């Protein structure tokens, strides 16, 4: 990047001299403080220092389980399995006193997001919650490799500062947001690496074949999936987010090899207008911590360029619509062990060290801004209700055709703790009729007002004409359901039920009582692949009818009807 000047190049030159050392050591990455000898270092457990080669996901899991076993500062939770059956882990790291009252802390946090009772919250004496997530793109693994160092530091460092940090903070550390992608990439890069090391960018080691490690098993980009949350990885972490209401969520990535290091704020003209200005002010304040720590190590960086904060389906933006602060980190990628770049030699250990530094600066920021961040979370939800009261739109109604799109939209909304009601009296609006018992109502007067706005609004004007990627995602349109905003003059509160959802089956029956020779099933609809899969798994014979492509015939004893 030419505009990042000769001056930065000079910086790199001095840094590169250090990084060309053959193998890094622990003190290259972490502060030289006293460490508890009962906690194994990553190198003692792996048999090599972090950065010497790419760790596999299995190694990452093994080390984290070991930390959980030996440290009373860590509770490890497996929150799900990836499509390829890999465990997805979240470490809750805090001091032992907090470990014994996690449920009480969680309850107090839920209170912060409920404006009816949040006035009684004791924000000054509440810990902050810091959700740290690494390498959602599996081939950007400096983050996941750094997570072992960060976890080790938090488990083993013996300083008054770390004691204070653990007293004031609950750290939710997810060492790998994309287990299957990480495993695919680490296998590739380790197997393509030359024993003598080639730094030429055209070397095989730096050029993975499609589908690469970025995606998960089904080639989903998990960093676009935070809203629709269709993959198990996303579903699991959205649930953790909703359970804890973290003050901050970090999202550690890599970018092109010729870039340096980026952290948010992003491009100011591309912040989603639903995000309050205070969010960006706090993001900038936290950026000061990264800048200070990276500068101490002569690491060149940039901010307010290239990346934006617009699409809420990204990990660094999803929190911004919910009283939290999302932070994107982007490290220039060595991709393999060491690669020549426009800025000189970029090594894997160097990229891991930068992610470690950014993690340590985040820890410090959250601990020092604890009260401010908790106040912001409380005020965010309070002001959400005030803004909702001023909004001419009182809610959104969408049809329940009792088929997959409507029901899936409903389940997406409920994943994000959005309040939804059944419609009990017919609603006519904008030339559409939503029948009683056959539609759902999403009120704007609810704590999740801003997220509701972000998901239902059809935004057609923008401050900037350029985007990092996604600029529109109106969910009811995406699911293809009949829907409408309802304004104050069109709204009759009697037409909707109390919060909570009752569902009716599309087919009107739940249990098929009488044994039959066979069943005929209409084969048109989104659910058919699911139904077919379940029948076949249950060992029931199913036939497609060749003359009638719109039906299936199923039954244990049935013979194909054309026999």
Q: Which residues bind Zn ion (CB under 5 A)?
A: 137, 140, 253
| Minimum CB distance to Zn ion, residue 215 (Å) | 11
Closer residue to Zn ion (CB): 251 or 419:
251
Closer residue to Zn ion (CB): 41 or 250:
250
Closer residue to Zn ion (CB): 181 or 276:
181
| Tokens 């998990």 -> residue | 222
| Minimum CB distance to Zn ion, residue 285 (Å) | 24
SS3 of the chain: helix, strand, coil, percent, to 5: 40, 20, 40
DSSP state of 313: T
DSSP state of 35: B
Closer residue to Zn ion (CB): 255 or 429:
255
| Minimum CB distance to Zn ion, residue 172 (Å) | 20
**What are the distances in angstroms from CA 246 to CA 130, 172, 278?**
6, 9, 16
Closer residue to Zn ion (CB): 140 or 233:
140
| Tokens 């959005």 -> residue | 418
Contacts of residue 278, Cβ cutoff 8 Å, sequence gap at least 6: 376, 379, 380
* Own/partner long-range contacts of 223-226 (Cβ < 8 Å, ≥24 apart): 223/136, 223/137, 223/251, 223/253, 223/314, 223/315, 224/311, 224/313, 224/314, 224/469, 224/470, 225/313, 226/312, 226/313, 226/314, 226/315, 226/318
| Minimum CB distance to Zn ion, residue 189 (Å) | 16
Closer residue to Zn ion (CB): 184 or 253:
253
Q: H helices of 270-403, where?
A: 277-296, 348-368, 370-390
Q: Give the whole-angstrom CA distance, residue 413 versus residue 398.
A: 12
| Minimum CB distance to Zn ion, residue 138 (Å) | 9
Which of these, 36, 109, 30, 26, lies nearest to 72 by C-alpha position? 36
Residue by residue, DSSP assigns 491-512 as: --GGGEEEEB-----TTS-S--
Sheet holding 551-554, edge to edge: 519-522, 551-554, 542-544
C-alpha 47: how far from its chain's center? 31
Q: Which residue is nearest to Zn ion (CB)?
A: 253
| Minimum CB distance to Zn ion, residue 253 (Å) | 3
Contacts of residue 391, Cβ cutoff 8 Å, sequence gap at least 6: 444, 449, 453
444 contacts 454 by C-beta, under 8 angstroms: no
- What radius of gyration, in Å, describes the C-alpha atoms of the chain? 26
Closer residue to Zn ion (CB): 140 or 419:
140
Closer residue to Zn ion (CB): 68 or 180:
180
| Minimum CB distance to Zn ion, residue 336 (Å) | 17
| Minimum CB distance to Zn ion, residue 137 (Å) | 4
Closer residue to Zn ion (CB): 262 or 381:
262
Dihedral sign (CA 204, 205, 207, 212): positive
| Minimum CB distance to Zn ion, residue 462 (Å) | 23
Closer residue to Zn ion (CB): 41 or 216:
216
Q: Give the whole-angstrom CA distance, residue 279 versus residue 265.
A: 10
| Minimum CB distance to Zn ion, residue 438 (Å) | 42
């Amino acid at each position: 990047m030419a505009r990042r000047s000769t001056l930065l190049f000079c910086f790199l030159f001095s840094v590169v001299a250090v990084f060309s050392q053959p193998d890094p050591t622990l003190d290259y990455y972490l502060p030289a403080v006293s460490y508890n000898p009962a906690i194994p270092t990553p190198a003692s457990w792996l048999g090599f220092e972090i950065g010497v080669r790419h760790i596999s996901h299995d190694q990452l899991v093994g080390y984290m389980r070991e930390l959980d076993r030996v440290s009373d500062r860590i509770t490890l939770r497996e929150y799900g399995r990836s499509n390829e059956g890999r465990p997805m882990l979240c470490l809750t790291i805090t001091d032992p006193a907090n470990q014994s009252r996690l449920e009480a802390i969680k309850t107090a946090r839920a209170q912060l997001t409920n404006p009816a009772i949040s006035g009684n919250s004791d924000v000054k004496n509440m810990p902050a919650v810091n959700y740290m997530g690494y390498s959602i793109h599996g081939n950007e693994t400096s983050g996941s490799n750094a997570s072992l160092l960060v976890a080790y530091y938090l488990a083993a460092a013996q300083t008054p500062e770390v004691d204070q940090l653990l007293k004031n903070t609950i750290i939710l550390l997810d060492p790998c947001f994309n287990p299957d992608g990480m495993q695919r990439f680490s296998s590739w890069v380790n197997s393509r690496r030359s024993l003598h090391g080639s730094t030429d960018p055209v070397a095989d080691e730096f050029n993975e074949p499609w589908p690469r490690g970025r995606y998960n098993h089904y080639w989903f980009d998990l960093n676009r999936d935070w809203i629709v949350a269709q993959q198990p990885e996303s579903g699991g972490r959205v649930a953790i987010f909703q359970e804890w209401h973290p003050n901050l969520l970090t999202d550690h990535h890599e970018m092109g090899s010729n870039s340096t290091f980026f952290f948010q704020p992003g491009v100011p003209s591309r912040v989603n207008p639903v995000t309050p200005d205070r969010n960006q002010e706090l993001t900038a304040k936290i950026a000061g911590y990264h800048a200070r720590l990276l500068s101490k190590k002569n690491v060149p960086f940039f901010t307010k360029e290239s990346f934006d904060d617009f699409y809420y389906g990204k990990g660094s933006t999803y929190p911004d619509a919910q009283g939290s602060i999302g932070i994107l980190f982007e490290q220039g990628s060595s991709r393999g062990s060491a690669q020549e770049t426009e800025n000189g030699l970029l090594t894997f250990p160097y990229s891991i060290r930068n992610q470690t530094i950014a993690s340590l600066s985040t820890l410090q920021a959250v601990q020092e801004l604890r009260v401010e961040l908790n106040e912001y979370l409380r005020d965010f939800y309070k002001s959400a209700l005030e803004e909702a009261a001023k909004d001419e739109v009182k809610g959104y109604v969408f049809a329940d055709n009792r088929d997959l799109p409507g029901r899936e939209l409903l389940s997406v909304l409920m994943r994000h703790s959005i309040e939804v009601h059944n419609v009990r009296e017919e609603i006519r609006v904008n030339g559409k009729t939503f029948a009683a018992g056959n539609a759902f109502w999403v009120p704007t007067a609810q704590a999740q007002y801003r997220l509701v706005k972000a998901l239902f609004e059809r935004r057609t004007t923008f401050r900037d004409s350029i985007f990092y990627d996604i600029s529109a995602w109106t969910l009811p349109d995406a699911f293809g359901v009949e829907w409408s905003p309802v304004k104050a003059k069109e709204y009759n509160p009697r037409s909707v039920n109390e919060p909570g959802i009752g569902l009716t089956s599309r087919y009107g029956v739940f249990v098929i009582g009488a044994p039959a020779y066979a069943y005929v099933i209409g084969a048109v609809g989104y659910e058919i692949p699911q139904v077919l899969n379940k029948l076949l798994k249950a060992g029931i014979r199913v036939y497609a009818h060749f003359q009638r492509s719109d039906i299936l015939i199923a039954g244990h004893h049935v013979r194909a009807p054309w026999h």
